[in-house]
Chains A and B, each alone.
Chain A
Amino acid sequence: MTTTMQRLHLTHPLHFVIGLTLWCTWFVAVYGGHAVACAVAPPAPEQGVFTLVNALLLVVSFVAIGILAALTVGCYRMAKHHQGRLRFNATVSAGLYLFSTLGVVFAAMPIIGIPPCL
């Protein structure tokens, strides 16, 4: 784990954009996957929220949350080891990863409560 995190160069400002890019990718995957699922195999409305579509969307969201949370922690730890420019980069990245993580949590909440294709 530690070595992977080191290889990611968490003090590089590229991490300013990776977290939210992942958020966008997750968002597009969920929105697009949902649209395709509803176009190809819409579950019966009687099933409510307990459908395969909701389950799959949740799984994808949990994966995204896991990755983003790990990167948040990684950047946060890295920030403590540096000063100046590198600390700034890692701190801002940590914040952005945290926001992306919570962004997925927040935008994924409706999956628990709304039937998919109505």
Chain B
Amino acid sequence: MTTINREVTPQGDLPENPERLHNDLHEIWGNPRGLKALTIVNHTTLGLRFMVTGMVFFLIGGLLAMLVRTQLALPDQDFMSPDIYNQVITMHGTVMMFLFAIPMLEGLAIYMIPKMIGARDLVCPRLTSLGYWCYLFGGIILTFSLVLEMAPDSGWFMYTPLSSSEYSPNLGSDFWLLGITFVEISALSAGVELVVSILRTRTQGMALHKMPLFAWYILAMALMIVVGFPPLILGSILLELERAVGMPFFEVAGGGDPILWQHLFWLFGHPEVYIIFLPAAGIVSTLIPVFAGRPIVGYGWVVFAIITTGFISFGLWVHHMFTVGIPQLAQAFFSAASMLVAVPTAIQVFVWLATLWLGKPKMKLPMLWIMGFLIIFVCGGLTGVMLALVPFNWQVHDTHFVVAHMHYVLVGGMFFPLIAGLYYWLPLFSGRMPSETLGKWGFWLTFLGFNGTFLIMHWTGLLGMPRRVYSYETGMGWDIFNLLSSMSSFVMSAGIAMVLLDFALHFRFGKPAKHNPWNADTLEWANSMPPSAYNFVSLPKIETRHPLWDDPDLPRAMAAGEHSLAVATHGRREMWGTDPLTGKVREIIHLPGNSWWPLFAAMALAVVCISLLTRLYPLAGIAVVIAALFLLRWSWENGAHPKAAPDAHVAPGDPSLHSRTMDGPGLWAMSITMLANGSFFLSYLFGWFYLWTVSPEWRMPETSPLSLVGLVVAAVALTVGGGILEKLVRGLRQQRDAGLAIGMFSISALGFVQVGVTLWVLLSANLAVTETSHDAIIMVGLAYALLHGGLGAVLTLLQGLRVGYGYVGAHAPFEPAVVAQLWRYNVVTFWIIVGALAVLPRVIGS
């Protein structure tokens, strides 16, 4: 292991002086200071920023929770007016879900994943940065509504018609819809790049079945984000269109259906629970083997459980809707599916148990939090199975029983493992150890406070106390239980304050940690503590699942530059691109450096968001164009652009740079993005067919308003363009680039033909989008097609220009293959749109 890998280090060179190598790498990777710190794209810095920001939002959400418990401490309290109370409960749920739980765990994954899989950064560093800024700006916009006393007040689930302009005329709902959609850009971008990073940038030899379990969990979480968030984004766009323009998607009189919102919301909302739970369970699966001092038993079982959970969680959404009057047989499907998810969860619990059973477990501070997790989560899981039973659900749905269950699952299933993980990784963040005393106090106060608050709340719910009431009258038997809940909640916040104090103090006063203080097995502990901007001086070849247990000398050897890619003379940020299955090296991935473009693009998007809120639509339009220009400018600095890789030479024997191959990570990023896009598109089709078949007052004209001829002409233009592009890409694969620029320009022209004809079809259809949901939803479908067609045309146009600049060609054939994926997607979806919107209504009739 410790010998130099001759195949990949520069020939004949002995490792350079490690000191100098560090300095050289730091020169390339290091973070700038001052204002330029805003350009940082490094995953370590951005991961920390995500987590710190997440903690700030956690404090805001926690404060709101304390306000709620204060109000409910005694019957008939008048501490907050009903109006304010409703804003507070809505924002508590929204902040905790969207601004704390998801970004916090994403931040942890962003920080941890490259270090665990032996990479130097995530695969799209600028995307990490864009994600962070979108999260920050979106979060600020959303929470600012609280200051204005204009916060959303229809509940964090925003059910229509309550959230519609008729029943919520103020800006609250708009803050929610626009702010959350903005924040979701961040979740999606992190989701995409985590998937690609895990699949394509693991260090040499780390085959899929040797990956740390945490990476499996994050892979599942990221894929679930990619598939699960788009339905809500679609729902938010539709609802905002209804509020702003009056398109009646959810309004019965206009042919819409409020239940469509519930489907779209919970299509996202249920997977969301597992998106939060899986990474937390990943922390548990990482910590337990370390503290048991043995490998996890049943690695394969855990992988099985992760994949099962990920999939089944998409088949459960209707269990949030058992009382909307869906036929009982359909409810029974979802009831059964909801119970099925108990199987993978139980498997994990017993894998953990067996690992402890067969190991020599030690009750260190992180393990204390894991025990807390176990107790609370098992309890929440059991009530979860109960809630899956339809008749029981009908009784306790929307009571405090559900509030209790949900907090057991989310706080138990996410917060406790998170704190365990943070305590575990603190020495890595800071190089110092936390205080055991303060930590134990913090744990016990939090644990007892939590159970005091929420265990009792089950009972309050069974006594009939509904959710989301701002007060209750005395004499229902609820008084004492509410008082106990409220008192315990303050104990819990004292505990959490103590934990945060411990975190804050340890950076200054903590004992310096020795290297790998918990004797862990995974690669992140081969970093220096705190880690450098480039993580590893040299990238190792991995043979086992437990590199640090099997070779304790590995960290030293890596830091001494005895492994691969220990060169910095070329001035580029680089790491391995490996095969997703076997972990064999395929190419060298070169990464972009710090950049202003993500910040600028996010700022432009923030202007879009604010101007939509304030109904300044022309400004919003201008800002959209500016944001698009920033993003395109960003994409310009790719591939063979001198800023992307100043020096394209590689050491003899090394594979070439990814931009000089046909299979870089960008191809994967585009595929995963199209997966998200496809999920959005399927949600749209679901909406169309749902309204068509189920909506109570659906009205469809006798003949379709869309010109079939026009649409087919547009589709043919698009298809021909796609065909030419495929041919050009095949040529590039064989090193031929004759006529590349002309080809790209003509494809672009065909793309613009499709856009023009589609636009003509749309305009000549004379849609009454504010009258019927039928016309409104057709409008959305065609707008989707126009947007995609336009993007495809512009990107091929830019490709043509890049050929002229010499950034693309036989020497750098990568980008056309990426653009071809988008075109393929556009061709398929456009034909589906033609079929669903124009052909089917003609065949079936209304």
The answer to the question of A109 belonging to the interface, with a C-beta cut-off of 8 Å to chain B, is: yes
Beyond A85-B582, A95-B300, whether A39 also contacts B693 by CB under 8 A is yes
Q: Chain A, 33-59, contact with B by CB distance < 8 Å: what is the 0/1 string? A: 011101110000000000000000000
Q: Return chain A residues, CB-CB under 8 Å to B693.
A: 35-36, 39-40
Whether B332 contacts A114 by the Cβ 8 Å rule is yes
Bound-state CA distance A48–B52 (Å) is 58
* A interface: dominant SS: helix
Q: Chain A, 93-118, contact with B by CB distance < 8 Å: what is the 0/1 string? A: 00110010001001101110011111
Min Cβ gap A23→B in Å is: 7
CB pairs A–B below 8 angstroms (23 shown): A12-B581, A20-B307, A20-B310, A24-B314, A27-B315, A31-B330, A31-B333, A34-B327, A34-B333, A35-B327, A35-B330, A35-B693, A89-B208, A95-B301, A95-B304, A103-B340, A107-B333, A107-B337, A114-B329, A114-B332, A117-B329, A118-B327, A118-B329
Whether A107 contacts B582 by the Cβ 8 Å rule is no
Q: Chain B, 253-289, contact with A by CB distance < 8 Å: what is the 0/1 string? A: 0000000000000000000000000000000000000
The answer to the question of B336 belonging to the interface, with a C-beta cut-off of 8 Å to chain A, is: yes
Contact of B328 among A27, A106, A107, A118 (CB under 8 A): A118
Q: Return chain A residues, CB-CB under 8 Å to B330.
A: 31, 34-35
Q: Return chain A residues, CB-CB under 8 Å to B327.
A: 34-35, 38, 116-118
Bound-state CA distance A114–B301 (Å) is 34
10 closest cross-chain pairs (CB), A and B = A110-B332, A20-B311, A107-B336, A88-B209, A114-B329, A95-B304, A27-B315, A39-B693, A117-B327, A92-B300
Whether B308 contacts A92 by the Cβ 8 Å rule is no
Beyond A17-B307, A39-B694, whether A103 also contacts B312 by CB under 8 A is yes
The answer to the question of B738 belonging to the interface, with a C-beta cut-off of 8 Å to chain A, is: no
Q: Chain B, 737-763, contact with A by CB distance < 8 Å: what is the 0/1 string? A: 000000000000000000000000000
The count of chain A contact residues (Cβ–Cβ below 8 Å) is: 36
Q: Return chain A residues, CB-CB under 8 Å to B332.
A: 110, 114
Whether A88 contacts B336 by the Cβ 8 Å rule is no
Whether A13 contacts B208 by the Cβ 8 Å rule is yes
Residue numbers of A with Cβ under 8 A of B are: 12-13, 16-17, 20-21, 23-24, 27, 30-31, 34-36, 38-40, 85, 88-89, 91-92, 95-96, 99, 103, 106-107, 109-111, 114-118
Which residue on B lies nearest to A21, using beta carbons? B311
Residue numbers of B with Cβ under 8 A of A are: 207-209, 300-301, 303-304, 307-308, 310-312, 314-315, 318, 327-330, 332-337, 339-340, 343, 581-582, 693-694
Bound-state CA distance A31–B208 (Å) is 35
Contact of A114 among B303, B328, B339, B581 (CB under 8 A): B328
Beyond A34-B327, A85-B582, whether A96 also contacts B308 by CB under 8 A is yes
Bound-state CA distance A115–B318 (Å) is 19
Q: Return chain A residues, CB-CB under 8 Å to B694.
A: 35, 39
Whether B336 contacts A96 by the Cβ 8 Å rule is no
Bound-state CA distance A23–B307 (Å) is 13
Q: Return chain B residues, CB-CB under 8 Å to A34.
A: 327, 329-330, 333
Bound-state CA distance A31–B332 (Å) is 10
Q: Return chain B residues, CB-CB under 8 Å to A36.
A: 693
Which residue on B lies nearest to A39, using beta carbons? B693
Contact of B308 among A85, A88, A99, A110 (CB under 8 A): A99
Min Cβ gap B163→A in Å is: 25
Bound-state CA distance A110–B340 (Å) is 14
Contact of B340 among A13, A31, A107, A114 (CB under 8 A): A107
Whether B312 contacts A20 by the Cβ 8 Å rule is yes
Which residue on B lies nearest to A28, using beta carbons? B315
Q: Return chain B residues, CB-CB under 8 Å to A40.
A: 693
Which residue on A lies nearest to B301, using beta carbons? A95
Q: Return chain A residues, CB-CB under 8 Å to B310.
A: 20
Q: Return chain A residues, CB-CB under 8 Å to B208.
A: 13, 85, 89
Min Cβ gap B390→A in Å is: 10
Whether A23 contacts B311 by the Cβ 8 Å rule is yes
Which residue on B lies nearest to A57, using beta carbons? B329
Q: Return chain B residues, CB-CB under 8 Å to A12.
A: 581
Q: Return chain B residues, CB-CB under 8 Å to A103.
A: 312, 337, 340
Q: Return chain A residues, CB-CB under 8 Å to B329.
A: 34, 110-111, 114-118
Contact of A99 among B318, B337, B343 (CB under 8 A): B343
